[in-house]
């Protein structure tokens, strides 16, 4: 009987709420009201219905929970008290001691309000007024996203905003503050008569970003106020004006646009400095998917001078590469057409001798596997290099090939290859080797090649460890020579013998140089892997050529019949240690000509990283030798604090420090503080050694605050 009465009264409440008390308070007819409670009573004289015990009233996505709820038919109001909760469609949850709401739960007054927003930030207020179901005005309110961060004595969160009034406008998706104080560890540190930020439902919104301040010897005191303009969901602009005390106004910006077929990312900057020079840079990336076969685009990267970006605190590459391209993919065919323009930013670069690449065309086709799994291939390349100083080069290259992979009866893996390539060159003002003059003309070559690769992997599992042992060998036959002085070397300068190309038929990265004569490579691979995830591996190998080839300069490791020995070792027995070592040893005395060592050791609480690099200079190459060591030490002081120290040291000649950096960071779920002290010892023209200090504060939901200073000559 009691259950029936509850259902009957629930139906009566629904009918009463649906009655047209007046047009302003009538609930939507499209949204039925659902009701449940442990007990329901009705006072016919007062026109009220009261519910007690686990009361739940819902309409659409809005749900009211309370210990006690009273509905006034006369006023069309719902009064709730005792553990009151209101779940909003946005994901926000309102808690209160007392709520008096309209029949549709959209308007009302609230006492003892607490709100948990969709991103888990919290607001508390002594009282509030709701209107239109999307605007909440709170008085004497506090906002904070901090939860697990260590609270200060007295129970205050790590940081909070206190305001005389906070307005959460869900229609405009903004939270506004009047007479707001920012408190850190319970201490007021900043005041604003008005302040606002987007609510948690907003991913991007037009407005000013958090400003930053700093200074440097070159620019003086700096102040930056970025502005973000959200033009559309897939398009935005960021303007970054910086006022400097020594060099005036510096303006940088970025335009981003992304849709289903193209992408644009435009970055640039401009300034008018104290010498009355206009300086700037441009860095643009454009990509277009034309159809299922074709795509294209361009990269445009230029700077007004070599050191401009570094002087103004921007990242700068050694070479700025501009490119325009189109490429096609269809079945087993690939075609690309490129043009390149380079701007070298190093002091040794010569703009007149830097080539303009136009055009660069590559085509490749691989057939479907035929009988026995064999495939054929065809490749075509066309290239033109033009210089304002020095020689020009035009090249046509075509090659065809045949490949047959096989697996033997014992499990050995074999790969047979045949190829025939033809190259034709036209050069202008090409320097004559050993002479002072230049020559122009046509040169070419025909280059046939046959090769076979052989591998024999063996595996054994013993206990919890699986080991593999794999002998590897290859043999290649091609004509001797093939590199006359009339053929320039444009794309094969960076020759480096190592474990990754020992078994390649050609160790050159490009087409301008070929390897000639019969040659053989041999080596062995070993690895061990444990069930717990640890692993180690080792490789050692060498090559032999029947006839010396003066194509390879002194120090290349390939200048004699027997090559240098190349090796690689990787050791990672567990999660807390990882060692990698690559080397090239002189075949005569086993002295290192190249060493690369990388070590990571320790748990996240105290982790050491170290890298050592040594390259011996190779005769005939423009790239010099190098020897340096770098490292870092990262330690977690406790749950929130961590520190790191890093440095780089040049070991060449008498040795010198390149840079040192010390960082201290505090991080929790609502706040990050970081300070970095850095010393740069490197000098490049007007870029002098300097010391810098950077402070960064990141407040979750509010933004980042940065300040720093860079001083030279210390």
Q: Cα(first)–Cα(last) distance of the chain, in Å?
A: 90
Q: Would the pLDDT of 28 be above 60?
A: no
CA–CA dist 501, 453 (Å, integer): 13
CA–CA dist 234, 265 (Å, integer): 12
By mean pLDDT, which of 11-15, 135-139, 593-597 is the weakest?
Answer: 11-15
Q: Would the pLDDT of 27 be above 60?
A: no
Q: Would the pLDDT of 169 be above 70?
A: yes
Residue 391's closest CA among 349, 354, 424, 423? 354
pLDDT for residue 250: 94
Which residue would you say has higher pLDDT here, 362 or 7? 362
Percent pLDDT > 70 in the chain is 93
Q: Cβ atoms within 10 A of the Cβ of 153, count?
A: 7
| Model confidence band, residue 454 (pLDDT cutoffs 50, 70, 90) | very high
Q: Would the pLDDT of 62 be above 90?
A: no
Q: Which residues contact 371 (CB under 8 A, 6 or more apart)?
A: none
E strand or H helix at 7: helix 2-18
Write the CA distances from 439 to 286, 397, 435, integer angstroms.
40, 21, 10
Q: Would the pLDDT of 691 be above 90?
A: no
Write the CA distances from 36 to 26, 56, 65, 98, integer angstroms.
21, 5, 10, 19
Query: pTM for the whole thing?
Result: 0.82
Q: pLDDT by residue (tens digit) across 198-252?
A: 888 888 888 888 888 888 878 888 899 999 999 998 999 999 999 998 889 999 9
Mean per-residue pLDDT of the chain: 88
Give the DSSP per-residue string, 442-508. EEEEEEEEEEEEEE--EEEEETTEEEEEEEEEEEEE--S----TTS--SS-------TTTTTSS---
| Model confidence band, residue 153 (pLDDT cutoffs 50, 70, 90) | low
435 phi/psi in degrees, rounded to 5: -130, 170
Q: Would the pLDDT of 64 be above 80?
A: yes
| Model confidence band, residue 24 (pLDDT cutoffs 50, 70, 90) | very low
Hey, which of 30-34, 117-121, 251-255, 674-678 has the most confident mean pLDDT? 251-255
By mean pLDDT, which of 103-107, 480-484, 546-550 is the weakest?
Answer: 103-107
CB 143 within 8 A of CB 122: yes
pLDDT for residue 126: 93
Which residue would you say has higher pLDDT here, 196 or 474? 474
SS3 of 513-558: CCCCCCEEEEEEEEEEEECCCCEEEEEEEEEEECCCCCCCCCCCCC
CA–CA dist 326, 397 (Å, integer): 20
CA–CA dist 66, 49 (Å, integer): 15
Q: Which residues contact 401 (CB under 8 A, 6 or more apart)?
A: 376, 377, 378, 379, 417, 418, 419, 420
pLDDT for residue 120: 86
pLDDT for residue 150: 57
Pairing of strands 703-712, 212-216: parallel
pLDDT for residue 5: 38
| Model confidence band, residue 501 (pLDDT cutoffs 50, 70, 90) | very high
Q: Would the pLDDT of 21 be above 50?
A: no
CB 263 within 8 A of CB 285: yes
| Model confidence band, residue 548 (pLDDT cutoffs 50, 70, 90) | confident
pLDDT for residue 684: 80
**Radius of gyration for the chain, computed over Cα atoms and rounded to the nearest angstrom:** 36
CA–CA dist 465, 459 (Å, integer): 11
Residue 488's closest CA among 513, 523, 525? 513
Pairing of strands 77-87, 62-72: antiparallel
| Model confidence band, residue 620 (pLDDT cutoffs 50, 70, 90) | low
3-state class of 688 per DSSP? coil
Q: Which residues contact 413 (CB under 8 A, 6 or more apart)?
A: 405, 406, 407, 454, 455, 456, 457
| Model confidence band, residue 30 (pLDDT cutoffs 50, 70, 90) | low
Q: Which residues contact 466 (CB under 8 A, 6 or more apart)?
A: 459, 460, 528, 529, 530
Angle at 242 between CA 240 and CA 244, to 5 degrees: 170
Mean pLDDT on 27-53:
79
| Model confidence band, residue 564 (pLDDT cutoffs 50, 70, 90) | very high
CB 197 within 8 A of CB 174: yes
**Per-residue exposure over 400-430, b if at least 16 CB sit within 10 Å of its own CB, e if not:** ebbbbeeeeeeeeeeeebebebebebbbeeb
Mean pLDDT on 148-153:
60
Residues paired with residue 392 on neighbouring β-strands, in sequence order: 428
| Model confidence band, residue 253 (pLDDT cutoffs 50, 70, 90) | very high
Write the CA distances from 43 to 71, 72, 410, integer angstroms.
10, 10, 94
pLDDT for residue 433: 73
Q: Would the pLDDT of 706 be above 80?
A: no
The Cβ-side half-sphere exposure at 404, using a 13 Å CA radius, reads 10
Q: Which residues contact 572 (CB under 8 A, 6 or more apart)?
A: 534, 535, 536, 578, 579
Write the CA distances from 241 to 230, 308, 310, 502, 709, integer angstroms.
17, 16, 17, 52, 18
Residue 360's closest CA among 332, 383, 333, 331? 383
pLDDT for residue 25: 38
CB 448 within 8 A of CB 479: yes
Mean pLDDT on 559-566:
94
134 phi/psi in degrees, rounded to 5: -140, 10
| Model confidence band, residue 613 (pLDDT cutoffs 50, 70, 90) | very high
Q: pLDDT by residue (tens digit) across 189-213?
A: 989 999 888 888 888 888 888 888 8
The Cβ-side half-sphere exposure at 237, using a 13 Å CA radius, reads 7
CB 321 within 8 A of CB 339: no
């Amino acid at each position: 009987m009691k259950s029936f009465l509850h259902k009957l009264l629930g139906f009566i409440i629904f009918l009463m709420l649906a009655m047209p008390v007046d047009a302003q308070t009538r609930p939507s007819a499209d949204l039925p009201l659902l009701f449940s409670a442990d007990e329901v009573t009705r006072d016919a004289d007062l026109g009220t219905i009261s519910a007690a015990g686990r009361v739940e009233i819902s309409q659409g996505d809005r749900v009211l929970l309370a210990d006690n709820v009273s509905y006034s038919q006369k006023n069309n109001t719902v009064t709730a008290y005792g553990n009151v909760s209101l779940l909003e469609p946005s994901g926000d949850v309102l808690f209160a001691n007392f709520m008096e709401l309209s029949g549709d739960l959209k308007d009302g007054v609230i006492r003892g309000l607490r709100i948990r927003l969709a991103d888990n930030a919290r607001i508390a207020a002594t009282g509030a007024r709701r209107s239109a179901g999307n605007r909440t005005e709170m008085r004497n309110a506090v906002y904070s996203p901090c939860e697990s961060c260590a609270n200060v004595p007295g129970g205050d969160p790590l940081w909070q905003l206190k305001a005389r009034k906070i307005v959460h406008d869900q229609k405009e998706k903004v939270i506004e503050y009047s007479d707001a104080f920012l408190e850190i560890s319970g201490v007021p540190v900043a005041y604003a008569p008005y302040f606002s930020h987007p609510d948690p439902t907003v991913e991007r919104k037009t407005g000013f970003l958090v400003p930053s301040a700093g200074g440097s010897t070159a620019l003086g005191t700096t102040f930056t106020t970025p502005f973000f303009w959200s033009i559309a969901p897939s398009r935005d602009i960021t303007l970054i004006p910086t006022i400097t005390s020594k060099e005036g106004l510096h303006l940088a910006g970025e335009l981003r646009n992304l849709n289903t077929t193209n992408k644009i990312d435009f970055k640039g900057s401009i300034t008018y400095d104290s010498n009355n020079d206009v300086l700037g840079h441009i860095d643009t990336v454009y990509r277009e998917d034309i159809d299922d076969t074709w795509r294209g685009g361009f990269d445009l990267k230029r700077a007004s001078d070599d050191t401009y970006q570094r002087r103004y605190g921007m990242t700068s590459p050694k070479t700025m590469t501009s490119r325009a391209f189109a490429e096609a993919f269809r079945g087993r065919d690939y075609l690309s057409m490129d043009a390149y323009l380079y701007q070298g930013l190093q002091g040794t670069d010569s703009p007149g001798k830097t080539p303009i690449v136009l055009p660069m065309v590559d085509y490749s086709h691989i057939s479907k596997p035929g009988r026995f799994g064999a495939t054929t291939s065809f490749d075509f390349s066309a290239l033109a290099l033009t210089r304002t100083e020095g020689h020009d080069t035009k090249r046509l290259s075509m090659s065809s090939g045949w490949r047959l992979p096989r697996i033997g009866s014992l499990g050995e893996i074999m790969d047979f290859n045949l190829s025939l390539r033809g190259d034709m060159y036209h050069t202008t003002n090409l320097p004559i080797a050993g002479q002072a003059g230049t020559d122009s003309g046509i040169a070419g070559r025909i280059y046939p090649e046959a090769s076979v690769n052989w591998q024999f992997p063996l595996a054994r599992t013993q206990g919890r460890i699986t080991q593999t042992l794999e002998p590897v060998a290859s043999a290649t036959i091609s004509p001797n020579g093939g590199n006359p002085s009339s053929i320039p070397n444009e794309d094969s300068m960076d020759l480096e013998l190592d474990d990754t190309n020992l078994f390649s038929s050609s160790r050159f990265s490009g087409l301008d140089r070929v390897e000639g004569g019969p040659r053989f490579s041999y080596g062995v691979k070993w690895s061990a892997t444990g069930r717990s995830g640890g692993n180690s591996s080792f490789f050692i190998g060498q090559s032999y050529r029947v006839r010396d080839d003066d194509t390879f300069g002194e120090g290349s490791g390939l200048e004699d019949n027997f090559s240098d020995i190349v090796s690689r070792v990787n050791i990672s027995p567990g999660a807390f240690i990882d060692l990698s070592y690559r080397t090239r040893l002189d075949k005569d005395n086993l002295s290192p000509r190249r060493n690369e060592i990388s070590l990571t050791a320790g748990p996240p609480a105290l982790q050491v990283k170290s890298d050592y690099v040594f390259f011996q200079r190779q005769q005939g190459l423009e790239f010099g030798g190098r020897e340096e060591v770098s490292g870092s030490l990262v330690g977690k002081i406790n749950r929130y604090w961590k520190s790191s120290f890093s440095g780089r040291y040049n070991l060449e000649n008498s040795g010198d420090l390149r840079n040192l950096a010390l960082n201290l960071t505090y991080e929790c779920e609502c706040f990050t503080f970081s300070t970095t002290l850095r010393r740069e010892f490197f000098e490049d023209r007007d870029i002098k050694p300097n010391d810098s200090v950077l402070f960064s504060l990141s407040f979750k939901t509010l933004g980042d605050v940065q300040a720093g200073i860079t001083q030279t000559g210390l």
